[in-house]
A and B are shown apart, each in its own frame.
Chain A
Amino acid sequence: MPLEFRKEYFADERDDDLNEIGKPTQRQDMVGHVTGRSPFYDDHLFDGLCHIRCTRSPHHHAKIRRIDTSAAERMPGVRRIITGKDVPNNLNTLLSLLDFGLDDEPLLATEKVCYKGDPVAAVVADTERQAREAAAAVRVDYEVLPHVLDVEEAIKPGAPSISKPYPGNLFVYHGKYDHQKLRFGDVEAGFREADHVIEGRYQMSPIEQAPIETCGAIAAPETNDRFVCYTSTQALFFSLGTAAKLLDISSARLHFIGGTVGGGFGGKVDSLHEPMAILGTILTGRPCKYMFDRAEEMQVGAPRGAERWYITDGVMNDGRLVARKLVGYFDAGAYTRLSSYAIIKGVGHLPGPYTIPNVYSDVYCVFTNRTPATAMRGFGVTGVDFAIESHMDVCAREIGLDPVAYRIINSYRDGDMKAHRRVAKNTALIECCQVAAEKAGVKLSPSLLAASSLKDGGGVRGEIPNYTATDQHGRVEGYSSGSYAQGGQSREPVETGRAAPPRPGHETPRAPAPAARTEPASQTPAAARRDPPPPPATPRPPEPAPAPERAAPRRGPRFSSISGLRRR
């Protein structure tokens, strides 16, 4: 079927005089890709390249009693066995670079393993086979702990606690709640008013992004005491910041080269290959490659997390949705990675592209003993859309309406107020439904055919409800707030019994001697975190306050680097 352009929509908002957008310009990397000349990270050959393979946990959850590397160290070709104590700053969470969330994931597990495949030791050897042989010869004495693989099981009282910073297995939002809230109007009043109250439960599986090029990185010593790192990362500066933090090294000493990604789909946003490869290089002085094989990519490469959604809709006989309650559980796996952020994004998308006067949502980021989840295309939105749209069909059937008609009735229109208190614009869902109905041969009534996203929006539909039912459900104490909810408040962590989010490191260059550190942070993480972060060696100027949400209006939208977080 030929592609149709419906250029009549938003014609007045679109610049058709742009130089590239909307023009059939050839992608600059296309010729290289189709002729097989694009260099990917694994195409970089180094004389004397060493290979890194990890010893991984065979258990979902276990305490590490002892790691015995002596036999492995004596094996042929082995240059070095790396364990958690060799990692200068062995605790991280990706979003701590944005001051969001507590460090919860070691590069190499030291106290316990939290999922099947959690790395415990890494072997640097001359050949890949030697590295694999030695990785198999590392003896780890485990004390198997009870594990939990289901989101709702994980938050029941008495469930095994997986994450030290979040003992209840729930991520803490804004230092306040064990879930991300959305309240708009009064959902209970909406249900009382509704002719039908329809419930549904929707469950997604984790999905592996399965790129053709498996995740990895090659590091090598460079001149001037620097390290070069060729990597498959999708987020070069996140990877750079993460490596600098975990290795406690100035990012100025790291030369990252990426850009050609052999398939990512989100799965290469937060790989930890770069710090491992660089650490191997620091410790052996040799170029090192750390690369997932296919089985690792499938087993321990971070997937799109599973989501479970409970949706309750209050619907009138004429098809109007008057209330929607959503309770969602994201399976983050053993560590936070990007799940907490996916939820922020997902909740911004609720209640879907529909105008509903009463909306209530609680969305939980739950830790389980599964592979840590991360981004995958449209993450935070894809899963909840699956649930919402499935439920739309269920409700339409229940009240005897065509699903397309039901959607048109409820679609938001320009000028409507969305539940997260932004005015909807450029909506066009109605037009989309009309075209889809026409193509699918669905007969719509004249009034639905005459509906338009440009008409009948705004007015009362554009107002924030007079009354919004709020509550303190899920309130927690003892955490300090991350920057997402801070507005103009101070960024200093409040002094509490609980861990405060450590700040991204600001290092001064120093010689690479991580193995010589006597008391790595990993050995006393709780205590180390409770203390204020050590003062930097050179005084640094006070950090500028973050631009508060209600800062002076900017010209045009602004996007932060990978998050696409849009401030207006």
Chain B
Amino acid sequence: MPLTVETYPTLSEAARAFAAARAARFMGGGTILMRAVNEADQSFDTLIRTTDRAMTEIRTTGSAVTLGAGVTMASIAASRDTAFLAPVARLIGGPQVRAAATVAGNLFAAAPYGDLTAALMALGATAEMTDGRRQSIDDLIRGGPTRSLVAAVHVPVPQGGLHFRKVSRIKPKGVSVLSVAAVLPRQGGRIENARIVFNGMGARPVRAEAAERALNGQALGASAIAAAAAHAAEGLSPRDDAIATAWYRREVAGVHLRRLLEDIR
């Protein structure tokens, strides 16, 4: 099965070709895909890419930022508009990976990759597909692969900021044991609509709903933090992999959530 590479000037043309092809992959930065190419992965025979400039644009509209699907970690780290996301982008891979790795690629990266995705989920970001649909990141990645492509990601700029912690055994470039992203909007000192997302605590990034419940309506005090930490892994099903065991991840999830919350306080 020889490999064909098709390059299209616009994303919509690429999307049409992608929808029509039987065994094609869309190529973002290729940090994951090119490894599959090198190993002659038999599940695809065509690579589709686009040179569309819109893919790499970062636009600010009111209280949201729109990231083209092909925006790289390096440009997130460099752009003033995405300063709130830059600390996350800087934690992904090394300089070479960051120069190529894209926002959309991270959405489909296998666990425990997906650190940026966890942050996007905590921020309540939505994905805009090439067929015009918009859906939450959570729904998109839960649904698995689709026949349409991600065109852009809309990210609300968070009030009070995004809090992020990546836990890895090798620093600075190691893969996540887990990472945790939190957005904790406050009304009169009390947390409302907390969004806490773990990456590495399952097959894909997941909301820590029990921990969120423990924080909602509370001030960020010692007892609320303790309660959130105690419930951190509730309902989550981490996996064993070469980085850590499921047991270990469940044990330490609360510890890292507590440290993150204590840092905010």
Contacts and interface: CB of A to CB of B under 8 A. Distances in A.
Interface stretch (A129-137, A326-334, A353-361, A555-563): A129-137
Interface string B1-45: 111000000000000000000000000000000000011101000
A201 B3 CA distance: 52
A293 interface: yes
A295 B42 contact: no
Decide if the interface of chain A is mainly helix, strand, loop or mixed: helix
6 contacts: A76-B2, A132-B39, A133-B40, A136-B42, A293-B38, A295-B39
A444 to B, nearest CB: 36
Interface string A279-309: 0000000000000010100000000000000
Interface residue tally on A, bucketed by range = under 10
Contacts of A128: 40
Decide if the interface of chain B is mainly helix, strand, loop or mixed: loop
A76 B38 CA distance: 18
Contacts of A133: 1, 40, 42
Nearest to A128: B40
A129 B2 CA distance: 9
Nearest to A293: B39
A136 B40 CA distance: 9
A133 B37 CA distance: 11
Contacts of B40: 128-129, 132-133, 136
Interface residues of B, number: 7
A133 B2 CA distance: 9
A293 B38 CA distance: 10
A132 B41 CA distance: 9
Given A128-B40, A133-B40, 12 more contacts: A76-B2, A129-B3, A129-B40, A132-B39, A132-B40, A133-B1, A133-B42, A136-B40, A136-B42, A293-B38, A293-B39, A295-B39
Nearest to B242: A298
Contacts of A136: 40, 42
Nearest to B3: A129
Contacts of A293: 38-39
* Chain A CB within 10 A, most for which of B1, B3, B38, B40: B40
A132 B42 CA distance: 9
Interface in B184-201: none
Contacts of B39: 132, 293, 295
Interface string B72-83: 000000000000
Nearest to A296: B39
Interface string B234-253: 00000000000000000000
A76 B1 CA distance: 9
Interface string A114-134: 000000000000001100110
B170 to A, nearest CB: 13
Nearest to B42: A136
Those 8 A-B pairs whose CB atoms lie nearest each other, nearest first: A132-B40, A136-B42, A129-B40, A133-B40, A133-B1, A132-B39, A136-B40, A293-B39
B32 to A, nearest CB: 13
B233 to A, nearest CB: 24
Contacts of A132: 39-40
Contacts of B42: 133, 136
Contacts of A129: 3, 40
Contacts of A76: 2
Interface in A109-161: 128-129, 132-133, 136
B38 to A, nearest CB: 8
A293 B41 CA distance: 14
A526 B41 CA distance: 38
A121 B3 CA distance: 24
B41 to A, nearest CB: 9
Nearest to B1: A133
A295 B35 CA distance: 10
B142 to A, nearest CB: 28
A112 to B, nearest CB: 25
A81 to B, nearest CB: 16
Interface string B209-251: 0000000000000000000000000000000000000000000
A246 to B, nearest CB: 27
Interface string B145-161: 00000000000000000
A293 B1 CA distance: 20
Contacts of B2: 76
A136 B45 CA distance: 14
Contacts of B3: 129
* Chain A CB within 10 A, most for which of B38, B39, B42: B39
A478 B42 CA distance: 49
A295 B40 CA distance: 13
Interface in A229-280: none
Interface string B85-121: 0000000000000000000000000000000000000
B81 to A, nearest CB: 37
A152 B85 CA distance: 50
A105 B224 CA distance: 59
Nearest to B40: A132
A200 to B, nearest CB: 22
A295 B38 CA distance: 11
Nearest to A53: B40
